[in-house]
């Protein structure tokens, strides 16, 4: 890297303040770290929540949002074995885990990633679509937290499990990938979305699809009980209310508690209008520590090792991990517009993506 290289970033200078595009440091990678020339970065619900409500109180300001990217390996630190300079990659970034570390944020042109968070994506997958598909969350949520059986790698015709999973919000980015993962593992998928996305989620493998805005959606899903696994990718009052109705009927039939995995806290303090959950419905917000010793075997299965690609890399290169397409908003000056779109739910059926090098 030449000394006159300029890094531009989309800064939020103060809590709830606007986005300002200005220069940021170009950080040198340390041992087992990789510097990525960021070609695409997705805008996720976490960015919208932090931008508007500071849901992460440890996040430091001025700060740069974003924790996923795809791009080109620009430099590597010592002991890096997985990739080399010039490789196209996708990466998770430990921005939020570090309380807001500008060097590890994705809404900029150069970002630092740890080697274990980086996977090669090959030459055939666009950066915009790579960031729409590259996330560790569905794998951890389904196969580690909820306890579904993993799919085979590479995929084969899965053994039918004879169990159903409810994925509320099938046309969200997390919902779409969760449908794909669950079907690869052999589960029967019950999901909800808007009618204009029915074909999309059916193409991903959903077996039973219902209109999330139908006043009778709960009674229609109840016809497909029992449900073995419960996953709410929306995690707002509009999803929790019908899920509670469905869960109440199953509890009446089985007398067993139900574990519901959510992506956000399901409390009235966080989401006004959130109903109080009955004692038998045990909601757990998704939280997964990649570096925890008890999670290392799962992380290696999903992300691979230097000598062996994992499920995610093989799936992206092989085309059998499918989800929502990416939709580019433009360059860094479009970050705030994209965050507003995600916050207002105007991104149904696609993933909002920023391309930092786009003028």
**Residue ranges of the domains in the chain?**
7-134+304-354, 137-285
- CA 296 to each of CA 23, 119, 148, 288, 305: distance values in angstroms, whole numbers, following the listed order: 36, 16, 17, 11, 11
**Tokens 């067993």 found at:** 256
Q: Do 180 and 323 form a contact (C-beta atoms < 8 A)?
A: yes
Comparing CA positions, the residue from 101, 23, 19, 92 lying closest to residue 60 is 101
SS3 content of the chain, % helix, strand, coil (to 5): 30, 25, 45
CB-based contacts of 145: which residues, under 8 Å, 6+ apart?
A: 261, 284, 286, 288
pLDDT at 302: 93
User: Does pTM surpass 0.75?
Assistant: yes
CB 236 within 8 A of CB 265: no
From CA 149, how far away is CA 146, in angstroms rounded?
Answer: 9
Hey, what are 347's tokens? 């991104």
Secondary structure (H, E, C), 219-243 = HHHHCCCCCCEEEECCCCHHHHHHH
- Residue 292: what pLDDT? 87
Q: How many residues does the chain have?
A: 359
Tokens 């916050």: give the residue. 343
Q: How many other β-carbons are positioned within 10 Å of the β-carbon of residue 298?
A: 21
Contacts of 290 (CB under 8 A, 6+ apart): 116, 117, 136, 299
Buried/exposed 274-286: b ≥16 CB within 10 Å, e otherwise: beebeeebebeeb
Return d(Cα 85, Cα 103) in angstroms, integer.
18
DSSP codes, 254-289:
H---EEEEESS--STTTSTTPPPPPTTEEEEE----
Q: Would you state the pLDDT for residue 3?
A: 44
Q: Do domains 7-134+304-354 and 137-285 have the same CATH topology?
A: no
The Cα 320–Cα 84 span in angstroms is 25
The answer to whether the beta carbons of residues 258 and 250 sit under 8 Å apart is yes
Q: DSSP label at 354?
A: E
- Residue 356: name the closest of 104, 70, 133 by CA: 70
Q: How many CA atoms lie within 13 A of 120 on its CB side?
A: 18
Which CATH number is correct for 137-285, 3.40.50.11540, 3.40.50.720, 1.10.1660.10, 3.40.50.150?
3.40.50.720
Sorted by sequence, the CB contacts under 8 Å of residue 180 that are 6+ apart come out as: 204, 205, 321, 322, 323
Nearest in space to 90 (alpha carbons), one of 127, 116, 115: 127
CATH architecture entry for 7-134+304-354: Alpha-Beta Complex (3.90)
Taking only the tens of pLDDT, the chain with its 359 residues reads: 444 589 999 999 999 999 999 999 999 999 999 999 999 999 998 899 899 988 888 999 999 999 999 999 999 999 999 999 999 999 999 999 889 999 999 999 999 999 999 999 989 999 999 999 999 999 999 999 999 999 988 777 777 889 999 999 999 999 999 999 999 999 999 999 999 999 999 999 999 999 999 999 999 999 999 999 999 999 999 999 999 999 999 999 999 999 999 988 898 887 889 999 999 999 999 888 888 899 999 999 999 888 889 999 999 999 999 999 999 999 999 999 999 999 988 888 899 999 999 98
User: Residue 151 corresponds to which tokens in the numbers above?
Assistant: 């799919």
């Amino acid at each position: 890297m030449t000394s006159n290289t300029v890094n531009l970033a989309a800064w939020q200078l103060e809590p709830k303040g606007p986005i300002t595009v200005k220069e940021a440091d170009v950080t040198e990678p340390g041992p087992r770290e990789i510097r990525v020339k960021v070609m695409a970065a997705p805008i996720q619900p976490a960015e919208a929540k932090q931008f508007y409500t500071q849901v992460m109180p440890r996040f430091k300001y001025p700060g740069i949002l974003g924790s996923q990217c795809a791009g080109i390996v620009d430099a590597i630190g010592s002991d890096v074995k997985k990739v080399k300079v010039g490789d196209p990659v996708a990466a998770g970034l430990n921005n939020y885990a570090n309380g807001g570390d500008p060097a590890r944020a994705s809404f900029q042109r150069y970002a630092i990633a740890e080697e274990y968070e980086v996977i090669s994506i090959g030459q055939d997958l666009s950066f915009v679509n790579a960031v729409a598909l590259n996330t560790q969350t569905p794998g951890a949520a389904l196969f580690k937290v909820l306890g579904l059986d993993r799919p085979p790698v590479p995929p084969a015709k899965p053994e039918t499990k004879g169990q159903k999973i409810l994925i509320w919000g099938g046309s969200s980015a997390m919902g779409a990938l969760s449908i794909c993962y669950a079907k690869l593992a052999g589960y029967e998928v019950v999901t909800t979305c808007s009618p204009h996305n029915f074909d999309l989620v059916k193409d991903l493998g959903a077996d039973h699809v219902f209109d999330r805005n139908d006043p009778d959606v709960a009674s229609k899903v109840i016809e497909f009980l029992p449900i073995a696994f419960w996953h709410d990718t929306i995690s707002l009052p509009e999803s929790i209310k019908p899920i509670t109705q469905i869960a109440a009927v199953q509890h009446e039939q089985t007398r067993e508690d139900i574990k519901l995995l959510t992506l956000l806290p399901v409390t009235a303090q966080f989401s006004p209008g959130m109903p109080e959950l009955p004692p038998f419905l045990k909601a757990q917000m998704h939280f997964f520590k990649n570096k925890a010793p008890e999670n290392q075997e799962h992380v290696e299965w999903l992300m691979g090792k230097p000598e062996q690609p994992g499920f995610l890399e093989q799936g992206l290169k092989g085309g059998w991990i499918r989800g929502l397409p990416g939709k580019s908003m433009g360059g860094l000056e479009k970050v705030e517009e994209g965050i507003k779109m995600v916050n207002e739910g105007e991104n149904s059926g696609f993933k909002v993506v920023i391309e930092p090098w786009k003028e």
